[in-house]
Structure 1
Amino acid sequence: MRTRFGENTFGNCVTLTIDGQETFTLMYEKIFKAKTSILIANYELDPRLRFIRGDSQSSSFINNNLPRSSRGITSEPENINLSPQNYTASPLQDLLFEKTKQGVEVKIIVWQPKLIIRLLPTAHKRGLSGRVGELEPLERLVQHSKIVKNLMVRVDNSAPTFTSGHHEKFIVIDNKIGFCGGLDLSHGKWDTNSHDFDNPLRDLNAEPWHDVHAMVEGPVVTDLTYHFVQRWTFSITKDIDQAKRIKIEPSFENQNSTGDTEVIALRTWKQLNNKDDDNDGSNILSWYAAMFRKAKYSIYIENQFAFQSQLITQLLVKRLQEEQNLKVIVVSPMEPNLPGFISGFVSKESINHVNRNLERLRKAGGSRVNTYCLISQHNAANEKRKQIYIHAKVMIVDDKWITIGSANMDNDGFKNSTEVDLGITSPVLAQQLRVKLWREHLTEEADSSNNSVDLNSFDEGFNAWKTLASDNGTRILRGERIRGHIYYYNFEEMKCPPPYANARGGNKFKLF
C-alpha cells in the first residue's frame, strides 16, 4: 500500500512523444477509449483544440518508432474512428461531451491568472488572458445537455507569488494511464516534427512549436491521481491543510504492472510545502540537483527558460569543474517568452538572468558546453527564417536518466508554481529519446551529408551539432538556405550572423 507521493515505482510502461502531432494523436486514442474517468490538470485549455489533423487522421500514425518501454504497450493500437467529419471542428469539446454521455466522469482544473495580470496589455500575447471565457462553450454545452454530474470544471486563480501559477500539464485516464509533459491542451501547441516555416494545419498565427511529452502506465499513475485529488480539493476549499490530510486511497492504485521501467513522480507545490517531498527526492529541484551530482559524461537539456535559476547554474558549474569529461548541450528558444508578465524591466531582467547564467556555464566548461536554438527555414525564400519555439522541459543525463514534465528551470518551476515532472531511469529509453530528438533537429537532409556520424554516440553527435551550427552561420552569410534546424543561441559570441532580423539570442537587454 502506497503511503505518500513520490516513491520510486517499478514495472511501469513508458511511451515518449515529440511535438503536438505525435502527442495529441496518442492522447486522442486513449481518451477515446476511456471507461470510467478522465482527469485533466492544465495551465491553459482550449475546448476547440483539434487533436487530429492532416496525415494523423489515421490511427496507424502513432506507430512511428516512438521511444517506449519494451513490455506493456502494444505496437498496434486498436482501430478507432478518427473520422475528419466528426473530429476536426472542435474535437476536445466533442470528445469530452461524448465520453460524459457514456457515463465517464470528467474533471478539469485550469489555472486562471489574477485579474491584475489579465488586464496587462501583453496578457493575450503571453497566453495569460482569462480562462473562463475560453471554457464557456464547454460549460454551456454541459448545462444544456444536463450532464453536469459527469463533467466538472474548476478554474483556480490561487498562486503564492505574482508570477507563479498552477502550471501542471497532465491527464489521468481510468486511473491506469497518465500523460505528463510540456504540452497543454490549448491553442498553438500542435505542430509536426518537421516544424515547417508555414504549415496551414497549425492554429491561426501559431509559430513552429517544439515540445516533449510522456505516456505512462503502471504504479506511477497512482501519484498523478493522488496529486490531482489534492489539487481538486484545494481548488474548492483553498485549505492547504485539508489537501495535506488526504491519503492515498486503494482506488487510486494501479495494480496492472506489466512494464519494466523505474519512474518517480516529482512535483513543486509551494503552498503544500511538504517537507517529506523535499527530503525524499520527489521535489523537482532536489531531483535536478541529484542528476547534476551524478552526471559524468553527458547532459542534454531542452528547456523554455533554461538556467534562470542561479542555484541550479552553480550546481552545474561545480560539476563541470569536477568532471572534466562532462559535455553539455542546452537548447532554448531564441526569443523566450519569459515570466514576469510586464513587458519592461522585469521581463528583460529575466532574460538577462538566463543569458548570464548560460555564459557562466560556457566559461566553466569551455568547449564542452554549447548553447543552441532551433530555426525554421522557409521552403522557397532563402532569407526567410524564424525561431522554432522551444517549450519542452526535458533533460537526459548520461543516456540513463530522463526528466520530463511541466517545470521550467526557473524560480517558478523549482519553487513558486505548481508543477509535475517524471524522473525516468532507463538507459534504453534515454538514448532512444536523445537520438530521436537529435535526428529531428539535425534532420535527414543534414545528416545525409555525413553518414559516418553515429548519433548513438553522444560525443559524435555533440560534434555534429557544432559542425552544423557553424556551417549554417556560413550559409546565412552567403545568402543560402540553412540545413537542419540547429543554430547557435549565442551567435554573436560565436561570430555568426543573426539567423533572422532582430534575433536576440544570447544578447543582453538594456533595461533603460
Structure 2
Amino acid sequence: MSDHQPAPESCSLFEPGRNCWRVNTAKKFELVVDGAAYFRALREALIAAEWQVLLIGWDFDLEIEMLPGESDADGDAPDGLPNKVADFIKLLVNRSPELNIYILRWSGSAVIAPGRLVPAVRLSMSGPDRIKLALDGRHPVGACHHQKIVIVDDRLAFCGGIDVTDARWDTPDHTPEDPRRVLRDGSPADPWHDATTAVTGPVARDLADLARMRWKRATGEALNAPDLPDHDIWPASLDISCRNIPVAISRTVPPDEDHPLVNEIEEMILVEIASAKSSIYIESQYFASDAVTEALSRRLREPTGPDIVVINPVNAENIIEDSAMNVTRTRMVKALQRVDHDNRFCILTPVNAASQSIYVHAKVCVIDDRVLRVGSSNIDRRSMGFDTECDLSIEARDDDVSQIIADLRNRLLAEHLGCSQKTLADRIAKTGSILAAIHELNASEGRRLQPLDLNTDTGVGAVLADTRLLDPRFKRGTPKRRVMTSRHIAVGVAIVAIVGTVYRYLIG
C-alpha cells in the first residue's frame, strides 16, 4: 500500500511502527467530554488508588477545586474528602501507606505560570514523602512536554487533552455566567470545551509503561510497575461506550541522541484523512499544519470527496500566539477554500446561549463512522514534529462499533449545535451529509456554530506566520541527533550562578 492511500475496508488503519506505537485492548473505553465530567471521574479513580498514581501533564494547579460549588464549610466535597487537589491527594497518601503519587509537569509551564508551581513545590517539600514532583525539561529548547496522561495502579488510564489546572472546568451546557466556572482567584472563567478518554485493561498498562518511561527520561529514576491483582477499576460517574476494543497509542517525540523523530500522530491523521469516504470531523485548538492542509486539499479536489468540518476557537489564549497561529490558519483556510468547488469544507466556532465564545481545547478527529482519535495533539506543526504528544484511536471493525463512533461524534456536534443527539442523527440520516445537517439545525441566535472570522494577513502576525517561529517542527525522517534541551540551559544557568558566587566570594 503506497503512502497515505485509503486502506481496503477489511484492513485496519493501525500500523505499529508507522502510525502508532502499540495496539492493545481496552476492556472498557469512554470518551470524556468537558472538564466537569473529567474531574469527577478523576477524583473517583484516585480514591480507588492503592499503589501508584502517575500524573503526567503540561501543567498542574493543585489549588483548584475538583468539584466547584460543592464544598462544605470545611472545604470538603460531598464524598467527605478535601475538594482542593493538593489537600485531596495529601489525604489519599496519608491514609494509604503504600500509595505513591508522581507528578511530572512540563518545565516551561513554571515560567508561563510560576504561581501554579508554588503549591506543588510546597506539597513536594512539606507534604508526605510519597508525593514526588518533577519538572520535565527533557525536550528541545522551545518545545514542550504536552502529553496529558493519568495512570492509576496500571488499572485505569486517562489520556487526552484536559490538564488538571485552572480554567479547564466546564459542563457541556457551557452555561452563561455559571457561578461554578471561575478561576482560582474567584474571577469568571471563559466557557471551555475539552475532551479526554478513559481506558482499562492491557492498553492502560501500555500507557503506564509510556508514563514511567517519560518519568525516567525526565528524572533518571526507574519506577516499578505495581504488583497488584489484575482487575479493572472504573469511575461510577462514567458510562462505558466500548468493551474489549483495540486501541492504538500514537506519539510525537522530538529526536534525541538515542532516537530519531517519532511522528506517529502525523502519520495516523494523514492515513485517516486518506481513508475518509463521507466525513472528516476535527476539533482542535489550532489549525496550522501544512501536511494536514495538503491532505485535506487533495480530498477537496476529488469530485465526490468527504465533507470536512473543523471546529476551532475564535482566538488563541494570548495576542502573540493569536497573531502567530491564526494568521497561519487564515492562509490554510483560504488555500482550502480555493479548491473547495463543491462547498464541502467549513471551519466553525461554537458559542453558548449568550453568544459568548467557547474556547475549543479538545483534540479530536472522527473519520466517517470508522475512526475516532482523541489526544493531546493539535492540528499544528509543533504537535506533528516538535512537542511530546500522545493520542488514542479506536476503529470500527463491526457495525456495533461503527454506530458507537457515529454516536460519539454526534454527541460532540450536538453539544455545539444545542440539539439532541437523536435530532442530529436523524437529520444526518435524512440528508446523508454532516454539513447539510449542520446547516439545517444551526440556530441564528443562542447556542450555535458560527463561521470563523479570519485574521488579517498583515503586520507582526504575517511575519510570525512566514517564519513559523512559534510553530516549528523537525522535518519528517529527522534522524537521531543531540539537541539543546531546556535541561541543558537550566544546568548552564546554575553553573554560571555558582561560578559568579564563587568569584564574588574570592574577590570580596
TM-score where L is the length of structure 2: 0.75
Q: Does 1:165 align with 2:137?
A: no
Q: Does 1:178 align with 2:141?
A: no
What does residue 487 of structure 1 align with?
Answer: 450
**2:29 and 2:200 in contact (8 A); partners too:** yes
Equivalent in 79, 89, 96 of residue 89 of structure 2 = 96
Q: In 1, Cα distance between the equivalents of 2:229 and 2:22?
A: 14
Q: In 1, Cα distance between the equivalents of 2:121 and 2:430?
A: 51
Describe the SS at the equivalent of 2:418: helix
What does residue 367 of structure 2 align with?
Answer: 397
Q: In 2, Cα distance between the equivalents of 1:169 and 1:393?
A: 12
Equivalent in 346, 353, 362 of residue 377 of structure 1 = 353
Q: In 2, Cα distance between the equivalents of 1:292 and 1:158?
A: 32
Equivalent in 252, 266, 273 of residue 292 of structure 1 = 273
Q: In 2 relative to 1, CA 277–261 (structure 1 residues): closer, same or farther, beyond 3 Å?
A: farther
Equivalence map 1:63-462=2 (5 Å):
82-83=77-78, 86-88=81-83, 90=84, 92-101=85-94, 102-103=96-97, 104-113=99-108, 118=111, 128-130=112-114, 133-145=115-127, 147-148=128-129, 150-162=130-142, 164-203=143-182, 204-237=187-220, 259-272=243-256, 278=262, 283-306=264-287, 308-322=288-302, 324-337=304-317, 343-344=319-320, 347-365=322-340, 366-378=342-354, 385-426=355-396, 427-444=402-419, 453-455=426-428, 459-462=432-435
Q: In 2, Cα distance between the equivalents of 1:157 and 1:452?
A: 46
What does residue 123 of structure 1 align with?
Answer: none
- By how many angstroms is 1:143 displaced? 3.8
Deviation per CA, 1:127-167: give whole Å up to 9, x if none.
x222xx4233344345444x21x1100012343142x2001
Describe the SS at the equivalent of 1:266: strand
Q: In 2, Cα distance between the equivalents of 1:265 and 1:272?
A: 20
Equivalent in 463, 487, 507 of residue 436 of structure 2 = 463
Match of 2:65, as an amino acid?
R
**2:167 and 2:181 in contact (8 A); partners too:** yes
Q: In 2, Cα distance between the equivalents of 1:41 and 1:254?
A: 24
Q: In 2 relative to 1, CA 178–85 (structure 1 residues): closer, same or farther, beyond 3 Å?
A: closer
**1:39 and 1:106 in contact (8 A); partners too:** yes
Q: In 2, Cα distance between the equivalents of 1:429 and 1:274?
A: 40
More displaced 10-residue stretch of structure 1: 98-107 or 422-431: 422-431
Q: In 2 relative to 1, CA 458–10 (structure 1 residues): closer, same or farther, beyond 3 Å?
A: farther
Percent identity, aligned pairs only? 23
**1:298 and 1:458 in contact (8 A); partners too:** no
Q: In 1, Cα distance between the equivalents of 2:306 and 2:433?
A: 14
Deviation per CA, 1:454-489: give whole Å up to 9, x if none.
3567835422322455x52xxxxxxxxx13221111
Q: In 1, Cα distance between the equivalents of 2:441 and 2:181?
A: 27
Q: In 2 relative to 1, CA 268–457 (structure 1 residues): closer, same or farther, beyond 3 Å?
A: farther
Q: In 2, Cα distance between the equivalents of 1:21 and 1:328?
A: 29
Gaps of 5+ in 1: 58-80, 119-127, 238-242, 379-384, 473-481, 490-504
Gaps of 5+ in 2: 1-15, 233-241, 397-401, 461-508
Match of 1:297, as an amino acid?
S
**2:70 and 2:78 in contact (8 A); partners too:** no
Describe the SS at the equivalent of 1:196: coil
Q: In 2, Cα distance between the equivalents of 1:392 and 1:52?
A: 20
Describe the SS at the equivalent of 1:454: helix
**2:326 and 2:455 in contact (8 A); partners too:** no
Match of 2:180, as an amino acid?
L
**2:352 and 2:446 in contact (8 A); partners too:** no
Match of 1:312, as an amino acid?
V
Q: In 2 relative to 1, CA 26–198 (structure 1 residues): closer, same or farther, beyond 3 Å?
A: same
**1:222 and 1:253 in contact (8 A); partners too:** no
**Count of paired positions:** 419
- By how many angstroms is 1:312 displaced? 1.4
